[in-house]
């Protein structure tokens, strides 16, 4: 018997996955069959993704909201797509891009079109990751130039710190 699984990824613990979850539930996926990771998409070393991959069997279906939720690394997205669709023989449905639905269009033209769309979207996903990192670095540099300090405010040392430190260093305490 085939199962339908959903995969959700958000980049940080603080990000909300409701939009993706609602789309998967509306597709008819059971909550127990939805796997969620809260970490960036630079690679596929994610705990829920690994559990999902162990679950997938031939004739199952994997549903994701958009290709960038699968990952942000062009080459790895293509590799994972091949592993899922060809090696595991699991169908893949990308809700935001109907051309990326391996349940239909299995003829030569359909396969050709989905391969082209997959490559373009995978490139866009990785490019967006690079752009985000560049914007982040520029924002940090601009903040530092304005005198913004990052991290916690240092706590003042106790008045006898250096004396206690020297004793500790000499193994007296």
Q: Which residues pair with 62 in a beta bridge?
A: 5, 92
Q: Tens digit of pLDDT per residue, the chain (173 long)?
A: 889 999 999 988 888 899 999 999 999 999 999 999 998 888 889 999 999 999 999 999 999 998 888 887 777 888 888 888 888 989 899 998 877 788 876 655 555 666 776 677 677 767 777 888 888 888 888 989 999 888 888 899 999 999 999 999 999 99
Question: Annotated active-site positions, please?
Answer: 11
Record the tokens describing residue 4, joined without a space: 């339908």
Residue partners of 170: CB distance under 8 A and separation at least 6: none
Cα–Cα distance between 74 and 67 in angstroms, integer? 10
pTM: 0.66
Cβ distance 100 to 92 under 8 Å?
yes
Run of H or E residues at 54: helix 47-55
What's residue 105's pLDDT? 61
Q: How far is CA 116 from the centre of its chain?
A: 22
Provide the token pair at 170. 């000499």
């Amino acid at each position: 018997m085939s199962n339908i699984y959903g995969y959700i990824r958000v980049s940080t613990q603080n990000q909300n996955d409701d939009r993706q979850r609602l789309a998967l539930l509306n597709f008819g996926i059971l909550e127990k069959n939805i796997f969620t990771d809260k970490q960036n998409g630079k690679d596929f070393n994610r705990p829920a993704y690994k559990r999902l991959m162990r679950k997938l069997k031939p004739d199952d279906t994997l549903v994701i909201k958009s290709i960038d939720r699968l990952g942000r690394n062009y080459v790895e997205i293509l590799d994972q797509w091949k592993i899922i669709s060809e090696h595991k023989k699991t169908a893949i449905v990308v809700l935001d891009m109907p051309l990326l639905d391996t349940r239909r269009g299995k003829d030569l033209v359909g396969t050709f079109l989905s391969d082209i769309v997959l490559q373009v979207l995978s490139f866009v996903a990785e490019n967006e990751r690079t752009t985000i990192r560049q914007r982040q670095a520029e924002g940090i540099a601009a903040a530092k130039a304005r005198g913004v300090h990052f991290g916690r405010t240092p706590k003042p040392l106790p008045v006898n710190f250096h004396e206690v430190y020297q004793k500790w260093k000499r193994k007296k305490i």
